[in-house]
Amino acid sequence: MEANGRSSDSGLPFAPPSQPEGQWRAGAEASPLTAAGPSRIRTGVPQPLAFVWAESSIVGVHASRALTNWLPVVLWAAVIFALSSIPSLGTGLGDWDLFLRKCAHMTEYAVLAVLLMRAVDREAPALALGILYAASDEFHQSFVRGRHASPIDVAIDTVGLLIGLLVWRRLQSPHGAQRGR
């Protein structure tokens, strides 16, 4: 608490020694907070009307954007879940069977990474969400007859996620967009 009765958290500035005390009090005619301070000037629609006019439309925009960004992620995750629920995915192709199934793992998670990047717009959270989903998918497979959970599959899924993120980065870069034309 200062000698003039003001504290540093009162919201009022300390009176400079060169100015009279009265000019710096709240409610005085000239104050550095009201004379030119845009932070204290209120413009636009009054608050109750802003709630009626703008708030409802803002909520609608956020909801539709969330729906268009996240619905493809949820639908693709449902496709992965459905494929994981199939008891046996053997094709009878011998060694090629394993190779094709692992390529399918990488492809489905590369697509998931692109969809997550579209929704999240940041690589680290998209990768983390993808890895979490891969781990939960393997956990789900442990309950499916004829399937088993494998940490190696999570690693293969992570490689697919990284490929998807590289594809996303390539398509979003100015050079990658020009090469695609």
- Domain assignment of residue 151, yes or no: yes
- Domain assignment of residue 37, yes or no: no
- Domain assignment of residue 99, yes or no: yes
**What is the tally of structural domains in the chain?**
1
- Domain assignment of residue 47, yes or no: no
- Domain assignment of residue 104, yes or no: yes
**pLDDT bracket for residue 94 (50, 70, 90):** confident
- Domain assignment of residue 64, yes or no: no
- Domain assignment of residue 53, yes or no: no
pLDDT of residue 101: 85
pLDDT of residue 49: 46
169 compared with 40, residue with greater pLDDT: 169
- Domain assignment of residue 83, yes or no: yes
> Residue 117: what residue type?
M
Instruction: Indicate whether 54 pLDDT > 80.
Output: no
The boundaries of the domain holding residue 168 are 71-179
**pLDDT bracket for residue 146 (50, 70, 90):** confident
Percent of the chain with pLDDT over 70: 61
